[in-house]
Structures are given as structure tokens and as C-alpha cells.
Amino acid sequence: MPAYWISHVTISNPTAYKAYRQANAVAFTKYGARFLVRGGAQEVVEGVVRPRTVVIEFPDLKAAQDGYHSSEYQTAKAKWDGVSLADLCIVERYL
């Protein structure tokens, strides 16, 4: 059953953030990730949400978790630390 990374992001350095986006492709390819939402227009209708929303689909919960904890993703994430803030959760699809 698919699982998702759902993140809300504030980017403080767009130029440096591009290096993270390029580096994360290695882990996302390895773990079968597919972007469903990557930025774009959004309307916050309740609560507080960061300016950028990203939803990434993985084949299953294990792939989503393994992808996050992988050395490939952690290497990419090191490029994001200090240039953005995010709230991220991994959630399994409900049927």
C-alpha cells in the first residue's frame, strides 16, 4: 500500500535549496518516489502552513521510511539544513 511524505517548507535561500533538490533525486529514484505535489499555488483555509507544500508518493511504508533514513537522502538533507525549515511526516495510505 502506498505511503507518502507530506511536508510544508519555508525556503530561506532558494539558490542553495536547488542543490538539495538535485541531490535528493538519488534517494527518490532508488526508493521509487513520485512527486504528486511540489510547490504550486495553495490556499490555507485553516491553521498555519508553511509557504511550500510537497507530497511524495512511495510504493509502500517501508520504502518511504527507508528512503528517509537512507544515507543517500541524509546526504541530500544536509544540503537543506540551514537553507530551509520543514515539517515532514510519513503517512501510509488509507483505503
Can you give the CATH number for the domain in which 28 is found? 3.30.70.100
Q: Is the pLDDT of residue 63 over 90?
A: yes
For the whole model, what pTM was predicted?
0.92
Number of domains in the chain: 1
C-alpha dihedral sign at 43, 48, 4, 68: positive
Q: 81: pLDDT confidence band, cut at 50, 70 and 90?
A: confident
Tens of pLDDT, residue by residue over 2-31, are 999 999 999 999 988 889 989 999 999 999
Give the position of cell 512511495.
Answer: 58
- Boundaries of domain holding 67: 3-92
In DSSP terms, 54 is beta-bridged to 7, 38
90, 5 contact by CB (below 8 A): yes
Q: 38: pLDDT confidence band, cut at 50, 70 and 90?
A: very high
Distance separating alpha carbons of residues 79 and 49, to the nearest angstrom = 23
Distance separating alpha carbons of residues 77 and 74, to the nearest angstrom = 5
